[in-house]
Amino acid sequence: MKRSKRIRLVLIGGLSAGALTSCGPEANPPGTSGLQAVYTNNHYLPGVGYYHAPFRAWYSLPYNHFDPHRQRYYQGGQWVESPHQSITNISAPTPEAVRQAQAQAQAQAQRSHVTRGGFGSTARHYSLYS
C-alpha cells in the first residue's frame, strides 16, 4: 500500500513540474515572466547556462557534473567530493540570479549580432578564374 502512494506522489510531482514549465529552452527567459517564473533542475538557457534548482541560480556546468580528471562534482559554482543530493528539482531563481541571467543573455545577444562577410559574400563578388 505504501509503495503505491509513493508512486502517486512521484507521478504528481512530475506532472506538476511539467505543468509549471514548458518544453523549450526559450519558454521562460529570465525576467520576462517576473520573479514568478520557475525552472526545473538543469534547465538550460543559451548564453546563460544551467539552472541549479537547489541553489536557485544559473551556472556554466550542469548540476552534479562529474569531472573525471578532478574526480569531483560541480554544484552551485563549486567542485565537491560527492554529488549533492536534494529533493528540490524545481524552484524560482533569486532576484539577484535573475539580474545576472538577464545581463548574461543581453551580452550574448550583442555578441551574436556581429555581422561578418563570409565565403558567401566574397564568392559573389570575386572569382579566382577571371
Torsion 31-32-37-40 (CA) sign: negative
The domains of the chain are located at 36-100
Pairing relationship of beta strands 49-52 and 44-45 according to DSSP bridges: antiparallel
Residue 128 in grid coordinates: 579566382
pLDDT of residue 11: 42
Residue 82 in grid coordinates: 560527492
pLDDT of residue 15: 46
CA distance 39 to 5: 26
> With contact defined as beta carbons under 8 Å apart, do 17 and 28 qualify?
no
Question: pLDDT (tens digit, 0 to 9) for every residue of the chain, 130 residues total?
Answer: 555 555 554 444 554 455 444 444 444 444 444 445 899 999 998 889 999 999 999 999 999 999 999 999 999 999 999 999 999 999 999 999 999 999 888 888 777 765 556 565 555 555 556 5
